[in-house]
Structure 1
Amino acid sequence: MSPSQTKSTTPYVGIDLLKCILAILVVAIHTHAPFFNILGRFAVPFFFMTSSFFFFKKYIHLENRHAQNIALWRYAKKLAIMYVLWRILYLPFDIYKNFQSNPNSFPNISVSGLIKWFFKFVFIGRDGTFITGWYLIASIFGMLVIVFLIRYVGLRVTLIISIIVELLILMVTSYGQVTFSIILINHALPFLNNPFSTLTTNTFIRSLLPFTLGFIIFMLSNSHKSITTNKKLINFYLILFSILYIVECIVLYRFTGVGSFDETLFLQPAVFFLVLYGMASHVSLSTSHSLYLREFSTFIFLVHPMFFQFRMSLDQLVNITGVAADYFNFVWIVLASIATYFAYRWLRKLTGFKWLRYIL
C-alpha cells in the first residue's frame, strides 16, 4: 500500500513531529548551544509522557491481568534489547575514549570495578560514551514501578508519590544551591549529593512523574475528551508555563551560573500541555511517514553521542571557540546524525538483517 493510500486519521502525528524537533534539540543540550539547550529540556519528559500515554492506551483495554503482564513484559523486553544492541554499537567509541585519556595503559579490571560497571550497566545506563542510554533503562524500571503503583495503590497515591520524588529531585539539582543557602542545612548536603544527586539525574526516578502524567493524559482523553481537544485552553497554558519555565531558567542561571537543568519546577507542567498540544494538532500524514518520523526521532536521540569524541578535533580544525563552537558542534552533529540515519535505513533495506530493526 502506498503512502497516499494510508492517510493517518489519528491526531498523534503532531506528537511525532514534536518528537523529531525535540530529539534534535537534545543535541543542543549536550553541545551547550545557548537557548536551544533550554528548549531541549522539554525532550526527555515529553518522550516519557508520550510513551506512557501510548503504553496505557493499549494496556488498559486488555481483557485481563495476564494479558496486561504480557504487554508489560514485551515493553520491557523490547527496550532491553535496544539498550544492549546500542551498547554494543557504542563499544568502539568507549574503547577510543579510554585510549584517548589513557593512551599508554589498559583499563584496570578488578572485582569491585566489574560490580560497579554491572550496576551502572543495569540500573543507570549512563556509563561510557552512550550517555542517552539511561533513558532506555529508566523507561523499563520506571514503567514497572508506575504500573505496580497504579495497580495496587491507585492513581491518586501514585501521583502524590511522584510529586514528592520530583520535589526531591529539584532539591538536589536545579534548586540545590538555592535550597541549601536559604534554609541553611548545609550539613545535609553531602548526604543528598552523594549518591542521591546521581540517582536523580540518571535513573528511573526521573521518569515517575512524567509517566504518571502520561497516564493522566490517557485518562483525560478517554473520559474528558473536550479537555484534550480544547486548543485555546491548551495554547494558553502551554504559553503560560513555557514563559514561566524560561523565566525560571534565567533566575536559576543568576543563582547558579548553570545554563539549563534536567529538571525545573515549571518544566513538567509546560511539557504536559505540549503533549496535549501535539494531540490536538491534526496533521495529515501517511501512516508510513508517521512511523518514519517516529524512527527518525528515536535514532537521532540515541545516535548523536557517537560524534562527541570528535568535537575538540573539529573545533581546532576550524579554529573556533566559545559560543561559536557550541553552535558549530550543534549543527554538524545534527547533520551527521541525520546522515547516519539515512545510512542505517539504506543498510537495513539492503541487507534485510532483522537485528537492525531491533535497535529502534
Structure 2
Amino acid sequence: MIETAERTALAAAMKQFVSREILPNLPGWERDGQIPREVHREIAKAGLFAVGFPEEIGGDGGDTLDMVVATEAFLEAGGSSGAHAALFTHGIALPHIIASGDQDLIERFVRPALAGERVCSLGITEPDAGSDVAHLRTTAVRDGDDYVVNGAKMFITSGIRADFVTTAVRTGGPGASGISLLVIERDTPGFTVSRKLDKMGWLCSDTAELSFVDCRVPARNLVGAENGGFQLIGQVFVPERIIAAVHAYSVAQRCLDLSLAYCRERETFGKPLIARQVVQHKLVQMRQRIELSRAYTREVARRHAAGEFVAGEVCLAKNAAVETCKYVVDEAVQLHGGMGYMRESEVERHYRDTRILGIGAGATEVMTDLAAKIFGYGR
C-alpha cells in the first residue's frame, strides 16, 4: 500500500514547494538554460531534497516508494521534467558512493550534496558508448597515489554546474570487468567542460560534454573496488528506471489535468469542447493509460522496496509509461489546438521535454531486449 498519512503529507509539502518556488521561476530558468544553485539549498532546507536517502548520511529517510510519491507530486504540480532532472541529479550520482560504504567519500561528497551545498553529476555516457556501458573508453591509469584519466563524456546532466562527477572509467581490460568509478572534482587540472549542449527540451537542465586530458585524480576518490564499477552502476539502474517511469506517467497526468481544464473552458460552435463525445473519449483514453501505467509502476516499486528482483519488470514499467506519456502529451497538444503549439502553453513544453524519456535511463529498444533476456525469451 503506497498511500499513508506520511506520504500524503510529503506529497502536499512537495506540491507547495513547487507552487511557491518552481513555477514562478521556471520560464526564467528555461531562458537561462540552468537552475540557480540556491534552489538546491532551499529544497534541502525544506526536507524534500534527499527523500529515499538514509538519515545517518544526511538524507531525509524513506524508501523507493517515498521517492515515487515525491516525484509524482513534483511533476503533477507543474514542475517540469527538466527541472526535476536538474535538481535531483544526486539521485543517480550518489547511490554508488553510498553503496560502497566508503565513509571518507560519504563525508566529503555525499553529505554536502544532500545538504544542497554541492551539485553533482553522473558521468557514464560517451560519444560512442551510451546504453552499452561495458564498452566505454575513458581510461584511468594508476600512477602512484593518483589515477591519470583521459577521455570524454557526453550528454551529462548538470555537467555545467557540477562540483564533482561520479565518473565511469576503464581501469582494467575490455568489457564490464574492467570498469571502475572515480569521483572527479570540478577544479581538477585536466578536467574541463568542453561545451554546453543545446537540446530539444529540458531547457532549464544544463547538459554538457566533458573532457579529461591527463587529469590526475587521487586514488582515494575510487568508489568501491578497482574494476568493480559495473556492479555498482547496475545496482542503480532499477531505481533510476522506476523514477523515469514515474516521470512519464506523472507528466501525462499533468497534461490530462491541463487538457481537462482547457476543454471545459474552450467553446467551439456554441458548446464547450468537453461536450463533444470525441473529446470525452480522448480524455477517457488518456486517463486509462495513465492509471494502468501508474498502478503497474507503483507495484514494481513496492516489490523493489521489499527487496525483490524486478530488473525485467522495471523495463516493462518504463516502456509502458513512456508510451503512455507520448500518447497523452500528443493528445494534449491536439486538444489545445493552435494554443498547444505555442511556447506560452505548458503542454508544448511537456511535448518537447518528454521525448528524452524513451532514450535516457536505457533506450526503449534496450529495455525491450533486456527484458527478453531476463525473462528467458531467447533461444
Bin for the TM-score computed over the shorter chain: under 0.3
Larger RCO, structures 1/2 (Cα 8 Å, 6+ apart):
1
The TM-score normalised by the length of structure 2 is 0.25
